[in-house]
A and B are shown apart, each in its own frame.
Chain A
Amino acid sequence: SQQGEEDPQALSIQEGENATMNCSYKTSINNLQWYRQNSGRGLVHLILIRSNEREKHSGRLRVTLDTSKKSSSLLITASRAADTASYFCATDEGSNYQLIWGAGTKLIIKP
């Protein structure tokens, strides 16, 4: 099945800087979700944005959705060491209620 694409594959920044990662998808969607995964652990849901929304905030997280470009971005402001993790997007492009997952962006926050 198709898979979403995220870029960059890896991102290393200094603590306190902002981190931006992107997700692209192929067909029309109703919603897009972002998840975080700490190394060797399960995923944690961060935010869901619907196709009729352009921007959504949750704490230091800001997600945008551009349906004309079939892309979404996740911005983490004022990064902290605890933000070091892999970040995945998932869309409802799949059939039979299957989420389609991106390959993830690995974020490293340097102290």
Chain B
Amino acid sequence: DGGITQSPKYLFRKEGQNVTLSCEQNLNHDAMYWYRQDPGQGLRLIYYSQIVNDFQKGDIAEGYSVSREKKESFPLTVTSAQKNPTAFYLCASSIVTGYNEQFFGPGTRLTVL
């Protein structure tokens, strides 16, 4: 089955630790995205990537980092510099960058203890 997978589903982190969230897609999509969702709010874009080895900051990139070494993979690292990292993180992809339909993974809920 084609789709997007995210792991882990739940993640707990102590303050001061970096954590990496995994996102893999087998849809052969060029564009991939990371969003943050807080209760009662819409999605906010953290980073996006149009092609391999390229990525751009979204609205709330501070305290986050990404890499895009393979077309299928777009991991997100939440660093200790992110002041309020507890949130639901969603990865998405689309055929190409643009205002197209996006396909979402199931999400990772990160809690900082």
Contacts and interface: CB of A to CB of B under 8 A. Distances in A.
Interface of A: 1, 3-4, 9, 30-31, 33, 40-45, 48, 88, 90, 92, 96-99, 101-104
A40 B42 contact: no
Given A42-B90, A92-B99, A103-B41, A98 B48 contact: yes
A31 B99 contact: yes
B107 A41 contact: yes
A96 B98 CA distance: 8
Contacts of B48: 97-98
Interface string B84-113: 000010101000011101111111010000
A88 B99 contact: no
Contacts of A40: 88, 107, 109
B43 interface: yes
Interface of B: 4, 6, 40-45, 48, 56, 58-59, 88, 90, 92, 97-99, 101-107, 109
Contacts, number: 56
A2 B97 CA distance: 20
State the majority secondary structure of interface residues on A: loop
Contacts of A4: 42
Contacts of B90: 42-43
Contacts of B97: 97
A31 B103 CA distance: 17
Contact of A42 (B44, B56, B105): B105
Contacts of B105: 42
Nearest to A41: B106
Interface centre among B6, B45, B59, B105 (most CB of A within 10 A): B45
A101 B43 contact: yes
A45 B92 CA distance: 11
B56 to A, nearest CB: 7
A97 B101 contact: no
9 pairs of A and B residues whose beta carbons are closest in the complex: A92-B99, A101-B42, A42-B104, A101-B43, A43-B104, A45-B101, A103-B42, A42-B106, A97-B97
A97 B104 contact: no
